[in-house]
Structure 1
Amino acid sequence: MIKDNQKSLNRFHVVLDAFVTAFSYLLAWFIVIGSGWANLLGKRTLEVGFYFGALLVIIPAYLLLYSFFGLYTPKRVLGRRNEFGKIFKANTIGLLIFGLILYFGRKEPHLYNFSQRLVVYFYVLNVAFMTIERNGIRIVLRSMRSKGYNQKHILLVGYSSAAEGFIDRVNKNPEWGYTIRGIIDDTKERGSEYKGVKVIGCIEDLDYILEQNSLDEIAVTLSLSEYEKLRHIVALCEKSGVHTKFIPDYGNIIPTIPYMEDLQGLPVIHIRRVPLNDPMNAMVKRAVDIVGAIVGIVLFSPIMLIVAVLIKLTSPGPIIFCQERVGLHNRLFKMYKFRSMTVQDPGKEKSRWTTKGDARVTLIGKIIRRTSIDEVPQFFNILIGDMSLVGPRPERPFFVEKFKEEIPRYMIKHQVRPGLTGWAQVNGYRGDTSIIKRIEHDLYYIENWTLGLDFKIMFLTVFKGFINKNAY
């Protein structure tokens, strides 16, 4: 049965992870100490026995970290990026713990002399080799499953759009190793089918079907109109002892990525998953913002000085233009920009969009808008916490009020801090482009945020985000 296979695979994972961790540590020791490099650098080193003995603590500690981050949870459809993120987080926590032990234990001679270079090399090597190991196992398993081995046999209870969606995804991904044995439903005739999966009975047949078939899982895919049968179906499934999961038929009602929260035993389904609502994610992103803002201010300070002088010499008025924008949780804030237009009536400016050939834009303004240099002062907005390096671009209150009535889900962008750059901007949706497309990209970013995605957007911004043909 598939459960026994999963247990064996988990044990194999644990043993293999222990070997990989030990190999990474020993290779780091050889590079830094065994090869004599540390001695050449005049660093004091410990006896070989102490370094090797440390493995007795390191290996179980790292296995516990991998377990804590869910690396031994059976997830057939776990993506490479998701798994790499877990490996990276576990090893980063391990590095921090390692560093704290060495710091607070520095009065102990053995810990004082412990090579810090070895710790850093071990961290890099372990992340690399663990990723290679996990991807190798995934490739082997997916190859086996696509050939019909190690299959998980599933029965669908209820014909609905959720059932069709599940069948579509299973057919597109044979490497998941799912075999759908059939559907039972009260509204469809026996023998009717969807993409090769047949209706094999009605819901009253469930007890008999469970007795006569060896199944690994039952997926309840009832349509919304049949939810009153859910209690009876769950009772039958629990009686059989077969693992049961529920695939809700609300895809057409809530077209988002919901997630479940346990509220002291009460399951709460959140309509939209926002990773940045997690305090740890928010803290990490804020730390990156602060460091990035400081680096940006230092790097761009010569350019900012030159632009400030040019604006002052070529156009009367202030150098910095402050404009009210809507930010996190719909709060208003003052966004800073280099002034690129002639001084205007504030009342008219609030509700007017910049268009091609706009006479209000100054000569210097055209250059700094086209190259996005006018946005550089927003590093100060990031530093004080009004904005982030990456996020949906903030809009003026007048247009927010207008768009929230015209564009579905527009206001969801305010669940995260607005950004200096964003997923929509690096995909070409800046300036006078489709607002609907921009919102689609903003929602993708909000629901799929990772630190890796932030770095990807910043990287793309450097190479294709500064020059903007739609900035007038």
Structure 2
Amino acid sequence: MTCEHEEPAVVQAGRGYRFSASFVPDLLAVIDIVLLLAAGVIAYAIYVPYHASLLEYYVFCTGFVAGTTVLMLSRSGMYELVAIMRPVAKSDLVIVSVVSAFLFFLTIAFSLKVSGLYSRVWIYTFAALATVLLLVGRIGVAQVLRRLAERRVIGRNLVVLGTGREAERFLDTFKLKSPYFTDIVGVFEPRCSAGARAGRPAPEGEAAEPARLGSHAVLGDAEALLDYARSHRVDDIIIAMPLTSDGPLQTVIEQLKELPVNVYICSQLMDYQLRFHPALGYPRELPLFEVVQRPISGWSALLKTLEDYVIATLLLILLAPLLLLIAIVIRIDSPGPVFFMQRRLGFNNKEFKIYKFRSMHHREVPERVVQQARKDDPRITRVGRFIRRTSLDELPQLFNVLNGTMSLVGPRPHALSHNEEYGQRIRGYFARHKVKPGITGWAQINNLRGETESLSKMEARVEYDIYYAENWSLLFDLRILLVTLFVVLFQKTAY
């Protein structure tokens, strides 16, 4: 009996992009603040005659009530997905939060002897209108989220890698809890032979029946999971196998570290009273240990995307005359195209074409094995030597940033032949592809730019790349970009 490799209909849900529900709580908090401020302004416009001397008091009250109400809602768990999707059932907590915020304010106002400055009709209207707007707003948000989930615009795609009773228990628990916006799009077993146990031998001449875990067809082993996660949208991988199998479990985790996903462990420890780190959107009843976290996700991913598009656009506008001049000089200096394009591996091992100014003599037949440029390399043209030394040949990669295949900062993409070579020689090499490749990177500003003439130098570069992916911040990116300017001016390793 072999493992099943054909994808059933349910697995097709894993294809395409779905926005993560992790944005929902923060967006709802912003909506709540806007509604609360609007309630205060509307009540003021209707019931309070304008007095410049009193305006600041009403502004303070409105801001205080809005901030305190949102804080109370947060402390009450009203920004968890379970509460967001059940607005009517949780309406009492909305009312309690609004009333508590007003009571806090009135206590402060009475203590400061300024309560007489406020219109009682305005306060009552503000409180009632705030409550109504919050309840209606939350009901509307829940309806919109349901529509988006039905159309598969938002959600999380989950894959289970497990075997035996542990996997079956997790699948049963998942079915019982039914987390919002989360779909199991694939089930895999660590070994093909393990999956074969669940299937039945087929009569002669008929197709073999696929192995199954519960109601799910087993799509393959751990290696098949790696291929699946690179060709489908996968947000989380749940490992449900005995923790006693240290060797296989450790091997599986090391393999999954190369993927840009969250990895969790779920096993027989669910019977113990331990504190777990749940993935957003999962109810706390699902016992999950987080062992691998997807880098640069959620709001961080949005912030980095804005950074890339804004800065890349500005640089292209400012550098347009320089780009045109370089293109003209290259055409005059030697025959051949202005741009050099080469296939590279990018985010999640997806191939893309990288753009550079051509710095070497053009060859009709490209090299099968790409050789790194060396000092006094005869393939480099006169203009090429200058633009390589000043890194001007990298400027066309700003177009890669705008088409989404690269970032301003990230691990430098290597030639395909180098990936094949070092992927076999360096453990965890492909973990550097958990984020988009960059024009510059943490390794490049730490004297690891240019030719990697030794294995140890490439290992060091990989370590720096992985460190960057796991410790990203906007300030970290800006620091790398700033230091890159000085490295380019005084570098000695580029040729």
Q: What TM-score results when the alignment is normalised by the length of structure 1? A: 0.48
Q: Which has the higher contact order (CA 8 A, sep 6+)?
A: 2
Q: What TM-score results when the alignment is normalised by the length of structure 2? A: 0.46
